[in-house]
Amino acid sequence: MKLQIQRIHPDAKLPSYAYEGDAGMDLFSVEDIAVAPGEKVLVATGLKLAVPAGYAGFVWDKSGLAAKHHMKTMAGVLDSNYRGELKVVITNLGSQPYEVRSGEKVAQLVIAPIATPDVEEVDEIEANDIRGEKGFGSSGMV
């Protein structure tokens, strides 16, 4: 499988795996942008991607940015029929401003196969004898 990528900004870096065996490819910013506490920004990558049919791209947090700077990615599904620029939605959940710098890693992209089941409405769904009607926290972790 090949992931076709077009650079639409001269400073754009192609996504890359940091280590062999990584699930996610690093995504890089092509702009400097300040993110105030509680603020959400759209960070440009300068790239267009053609995700193969039957797959989707999922944009996930960089663990270091999340743990050290409270930066959370959002709106992270890249459909195979999307051809616009890949931008990363980032929210600052911390109490300090954060400066995204051009060339900096801002998120990671995971390409995964997707299932597209037919939707069927039923009067009642099948019971689950193991979990039953237990809700969130049913395994003991609340």
Type of residue at 21: G
pLDDT digits (tens, 9 = 90+) for 34-63: 999 999 999 999 999 999 999 999 999 999
| Residue 52 placed within a domain | yes
pLDDT tens for each residue of 79-111: 999 999 999 999 999 999 999 999 999 999 999
Kindly state whether residue 130 falls inside one of the protein's structural domains.
no
Note the helical H segments in the chain: 63-69
Task: Give the CATH number for residue 74.
Answer: 2.70.40.10
For residue 14, give the nearest of 24, 23, 25 by alpha carbon. 25
**Could you list the residue range(s) of the whole structural domain that residue 88 is in?**
12-113
Entry pTM: 0.87
Task: Specify the number of domains making up the chain.
Answer: 1
Beta partners for 6? Answer: 48
